[in-house]
Amino acid sequence: MQRIRLRYTKRGRLRFTSHRDFQRAFERALRRAEVPMAYSAGFTPHPKVSYANAAPTGTGSEAEYLEIALTAQRDPEQLRILLDESLPTGLDIVEAVEARTPGLADRLTASVWELRLDGVSQEEARRAADAFNAAETVEVQRLAKNGVRTFDARSAVVSLEIPDLTETHSSQADRPTDQPCAILRLVVRHVTPAVRPDDVLSGLRAVADLAPPVPAAVTRLAQGLFDEETGTVTDPLAPDREAAEAHSTAEPPAAATAPA
């Protein structure tokens, strides 16, 4: 059995697809691409696909991950191309590596989010971010299955800042206009209960009365292990690429054939 790990995106209007919508689309893509999938046992076998920490419905993403199990060996890049061609534009398979290390889900401990606030000036956004960062706790409420839940949205936030506008992703499909707006860059640890970008927006409203006139456009830029020393979120597929490179380097060269 071979395991392949994929990174995919949700862009443009496809950010409104739910996780279940994506599952159905991806399983159809597997059939179209004739991928030799491994199936679970039991009365209702289903393809072995492991999804990891999907983004909420309505948010865009450049860094969604999943893992599939195959019954036959396939080249990861060729598989990526076939699957990408079988999915609608906006749900794009952008990277594929063979799983050579354990625990992909364990390496997704933090996310980098970009929040586009149309109709909000940079000064307003900076004032709100400073107030949020200065607070020890920021209590917000969310409607859960068991009723309204109150929790601290501040403790999970590693950083909240105004990035350099030349480094933002505002030119992507999730950014329908080029009108002036404020951009926030957010790094959040994956904790329980999960703190989502809309919780941070609720916190900004609570501490600084920041209320954008239109819903914020939210995009996940990255997710992976949080590096305490550098304050960055690392690539979760890097260990698999490094293991593949080490394996190819360690393979003995093919024996030379003596001339006839």
Q: What is the model's pTM?
A: 0.87
Tell me, yes or no, whether 131 and 149 share the same domain: yes
- Report yes or no on 56 lying in a domain: yes
Distance separating alpha carbons of residues 82 and 63, to the nearest angstrom: 19
pLDDT in tens, 169-194: 554 445 445 566 899 999 999 998 89
Tell me, yes or no, whether 137 and 227 share the same domain: yes
Give residue 248's pLDDT: 75
Q: Looking at the 3D structure of the chain, how many domains does it have?
A: 2
| HEC-encoded secondary structure of 185-229 | EEEEECCCCCCCHHHHHHHHHHHHCCCCCCCCEEEEEEEECEECC
Tell me, yes or no, whether 93 and 131 share the same domain: no
Q: What's the chain's average pLDDT? A: 90
Domain of 96 in residue numbering reads as: 2-105
CATH value at residue 173: 3.30.70
Distance separating alpha carbons of residues 258 and 139, to the nearest angstrom: 76
Distance separating alpha carbons of residues 200 and 188, to the nearest angstrom: 10
Tokens of 210: 């920041």
Tell me, yes or no, whether 113 and 142 share the same domain: yes
| Residue 144 DSSP SS3 | strand
How does pLDDT run along the chain (260 residues), one tens digit per residue?
899 999 999 999 999 999 999 999 999 999 999 999 999 988 888 999 999 999 999 999 999 999 999 999 999 999 999 999 999 999 999 999 999 999 999 999 999 999 999 999 999 999 999 999 999 999 999 888 888 889 999 999 999 999 976 555 554 445 445 566 899 999 999 998 899 999 999 999 999 999 999 999 999 999 999 999 888 999 999 999 999 888 777 666 554 444 44
Q: List, in sequence order, every residue forming a beta bridge with 183; answer none if it has no partner.
A: 116
Tell me, yes or no, whether 115 and 191 share the same domain: yes
